[in-house]
């Protein structure tokens, strides 16, 4: 304990030393040559998680190999104490690139004891600013509350110290995402956002902090943030300010947000304003939300409908029903859901009209994504549970069947389940239990997943209904791995929860992990990929040196035409558009998995292309494209490319947008 305190004090003195900006002293250039056999070997060892065999390359005479070996450990899910100790010795490597990757890998390790090594290696000479910045970030990932306060307390960096300021800001963000932030940290971040002299590389993650962390500004901070919102033209700064003002719950902030909305800013700002309005009294923002239902951007209008679904009131339920009549389906259906959720039980006539309209539209539409939304809207009146089960049995498309199962799960998980069903609650619960068993025994990816989730989140409720779990064990034996890995995992969790056992993760056979195809990567290089949709064309640049296994798998799938006629099934406004799965409902994969590849990168802008995941080393075929910076994904999800043209098309994608083709011109 004494040694740790001494190291901490040394770190404090180093951080508060005035560090001048400058280029790092690197003796030779680090290169990543994918055609080099040793490079290929190191990356193969990384992606097969053979850490012991990687260790010798940490001390190779060639600094590029040391760099790659250190970088490799940043993708590992866990690091042993021995590996962490070996890495720590390279915090003093003569190559700044090696030092930087080592600091990042230690930050990824989850080993809190590595904080002392990181602190001791912070360099005060100014020769290694990138490595020092990586140390600050890693301390934010690993350190305790005292370390988080230390990061906030650094005051000697100036606007010229961009690299160090950026590392400090990311460190504070990562610590706050772990729940480690204080009024001092919050104040330091506000100061960075407000200071126009601070480089955007620092202000943008600071704005993300304000958006994602439950920070409530005091009256002085609120006033200054309102002033900034009135003057800034930068949507990335504005979005963080918007969410902070929404948490203030003060009338001047509400006025500032509504004025910004009236000025028709970037569509992403409009989405964030609608979300921020949840912090104010419904009556004071009602008209603006209703007006936004007709916003020309479909994701803004959908966000307005979702606001009413979540925050609407019984008195306005008939109005939601009426408004839905002449709106596009993507907006109208959640509005019907809002009417169904909030309608007073005394308006039985309206109830019949709402559910009748939903069922009639379900019968007449051919759009399976609209059908899925209609089922979710029906589920807002829980007595529709038998109807939902009937639709599940009748439906042929996986998107619809999964939505029916999701809706049955939602009925079973209602907080007011007992109060709503009253004297019928035991009978309804037993029927739902039968439905969930049917869905799991059917072993279809989406339906079985949602049924299992219903059980694993409420094991005490269903334990007495299932005295014998032999049927669940039999179902588990019938899943096809790794194609159905996500569903199998959730069914396994449900079984263990019902037995009162710990959660566990299945093991994937090594031969199912798809390695990098080096010949394919050399054939295509950094080839552009052109993604054609009904909304337009999106051009992607792939990053083979960053994620070789992912890129080579993507190239193979594209060359085989795998993505032709697939869909974007999930679009979260101002976050991501995700698609490419085999079923169109977000479930299922193919007969391989990919390793998670997470070298030292930030999700720091819109248009980054990443792999969807059900957990570490479970990636397959689904990918997503970002609408904005998403640094909470840093070090967790594989980035394998970027949009170089067509981000406006990405921003127009909605659930059900079809991928016509992906080509390699």
- CA 665 to each of CA 113, 539, 580, 640, 662: distance values in angstroms, whole numbers, following the listed order: 49, 10, 20, 18, 10
Mean pLDDT of the chain: 94
- Mean pLDDT calculated for residue range 630-645: 98
Per-residue model confidence (pLDDT) at position 506: 85
The two structure tokens encoding residue 166: 């950026």
Helix (H) / strand (E) containing 659: strand 657-663
pLDDT in tens, 371-416: 999 999 999 999 999 999 999 999 999 999 999 999 999 999 999 9
Burial degree of 402 (CB within 10 A; 0-12, 13-18, 19+): buried
Structure tokens at 540: 């992607």
Question: Positive or negative, the Cα torsion across 96, 99, 100, 101?
Answer: positive
What CA–CA distances, in Å, run from 151 to 102, 194, 407, 429?
20, 18, 45, 51
Split at pLDDT 50, 70, 90, the class of 16 is very low
Reply yes or no on whether the pLDDT at 349 is more than 50: yes
- Token pair 């030393």 is found at 17
Percent residues over pLDDT 70 in the chain:
96
Which domains does the chain carry? 2-143 (1.25.10.10), 306-510 (1.25.10), 518-663 (2.40.100.10)
Query: What pTM value is reported for the model?
Result: 0.95
pLDDT band, very low/low/confident/very high, at 348 (cuts 50, 70, 90): confident
- Residue showing tokens 């009904």: 534
Confidence tier at 509 by pLDDT (50, 70, 90): confident
Helices (H), 397-547: 398-412, 417-421, 425-442, 445-457, 459-462, 470-477, 485-499, 518-524
Could you tell me the maximum CA-CA distance found in the chain, to the nearest angstrom?
A: 80
Cis peptide before 482 (omega within 30 of 0): yes
Taking residues 638-658, report their average pLDDT: 98
């Amino acid at each position: 304990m004494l040694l740790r305190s001494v190291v901490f004090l040394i770190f404090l003195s180093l951080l508060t030393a005035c560090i001048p900006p400058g280029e790092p002293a690197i003796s030779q250039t680090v290169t990543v040559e994918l055609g080099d056999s040793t490079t290929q070997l190191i990356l193969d060892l990384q992606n097969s998680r053979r850490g012991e065999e990687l260790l010798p390359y940490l001390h190779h005479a060639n600094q590029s190999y040391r760099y790659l070996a250190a970088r490799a450990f940043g993708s590992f899910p866990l690091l042993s104490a021995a590996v962490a100790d070996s890495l720590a010795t390279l915090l003093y490597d003569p190559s700044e690139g090696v030092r930087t990757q080592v600091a990042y890998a230690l930050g990824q390790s989850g080993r809190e004891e590595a904080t002392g090594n990181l602190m001791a290696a912070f360099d005060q000479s100014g020769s290694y600013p990138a490595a020092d910045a990586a140390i600050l970030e890693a301390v934010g990932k690993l350190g305790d509350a005292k370390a988080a306060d230390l990061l906030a307390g650094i005051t000697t960096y100036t606007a010229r110290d961009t690299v160090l300021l950026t590392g400090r800001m990311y460190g504070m963000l990562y610590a706050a995402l772990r729940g480690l932030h204080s009024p001092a940290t919050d104040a330091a971040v506000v100061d960075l956002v407000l200071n126009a002299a601070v480089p955007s590389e620092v202000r943008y993650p600071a704005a993300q902090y304000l958006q994602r962390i439950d920070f409530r500004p005091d009256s002085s901070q609120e006033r200054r943030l309102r002033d900034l919102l009135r003057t800034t033209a930068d949507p990335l700064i504005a979005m963080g300010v918007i969410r902070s003002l929404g948490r203030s719950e003060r009338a001047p902030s509400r006025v500032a947000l509504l004025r910004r909305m009236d000025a028709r800013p970037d569509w992403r700002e409009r989405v964030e304003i609608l979300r921020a309005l949840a912090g104010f009294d419904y009556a004071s923002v009602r008209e603006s939300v209703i007006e936004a239902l007709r916003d020309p951007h479909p994701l803004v209008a959908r966000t307005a409908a979702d606001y009413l679904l979540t925050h609407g009131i019984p008195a306005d339920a008939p109005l939601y029903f009426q408004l839905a009549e002449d709106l596009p389906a993507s907006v109208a259906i959640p509005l019907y859901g809002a009417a169904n959720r909030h309608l007073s039980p005394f308006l039985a006539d309206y109830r019949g009209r709402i559910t009748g309209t939903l069922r009639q539209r379900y019968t007449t539409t051919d759009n399976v994504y609209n059908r899925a939304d209609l089922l979710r809207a029906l589920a807002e009146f829980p007595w529709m549970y038998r109807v939902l089960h009937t639709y599940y049995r009748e439906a042929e498309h996986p998107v619809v069947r999964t939505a029916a199962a999701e809706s049955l799960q939602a009925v079973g998980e209602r907080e007011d389940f007992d109060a709503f069903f009253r004297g019928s609650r035991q009978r309804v619960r037993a029927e739902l239990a039968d439905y969930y068993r049917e869905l799991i025994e059917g072993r279809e990816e989406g339906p079985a997943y949602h049924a299992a989730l219903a059980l694993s989140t409420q094991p005490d409720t269903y334990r007495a209904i299932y005295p014998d779990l032999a049927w669940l064990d039999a179902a588990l034996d019938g899943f096809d791995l790794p194609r159905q890995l996500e569903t199998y995992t959730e069914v396994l969790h449900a079984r263990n929860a019902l037995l009162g056992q710990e959660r566990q993760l299945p093991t994937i056979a090594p031969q199912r992990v798809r390695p990098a195809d080096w010949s394919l990567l050399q054939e295509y290089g950094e080839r552009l990929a052109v993604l054609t949709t009904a909304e337009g064309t999106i051009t992607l640049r792939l990053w083979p040196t960053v994620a070789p296994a992912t890129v080579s798998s993507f190239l193979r799938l594209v060359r085989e035409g795998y993505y032709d006629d697939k869909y974007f099934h999930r679009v979260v406004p101002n976050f991501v558009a995700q698609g490419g799965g085999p079923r169109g409902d977000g479930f299922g994969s193919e007969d391989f998995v990919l390793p998670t590849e997470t070298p030292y990168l930030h999700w720091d802008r819109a248009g980054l292309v990443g792999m969807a995941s059900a957990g570490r080393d479970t990636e397959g075929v689904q990918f997503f494209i970002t609408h904005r910076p998403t640094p909470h994904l840093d070090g967790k999800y594989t980035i394998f490319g970027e949009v170089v043209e067509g981000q406006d098309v990405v921003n127009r994608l909605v659930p059900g947008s079809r991928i016509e083709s992906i080509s390699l011109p």
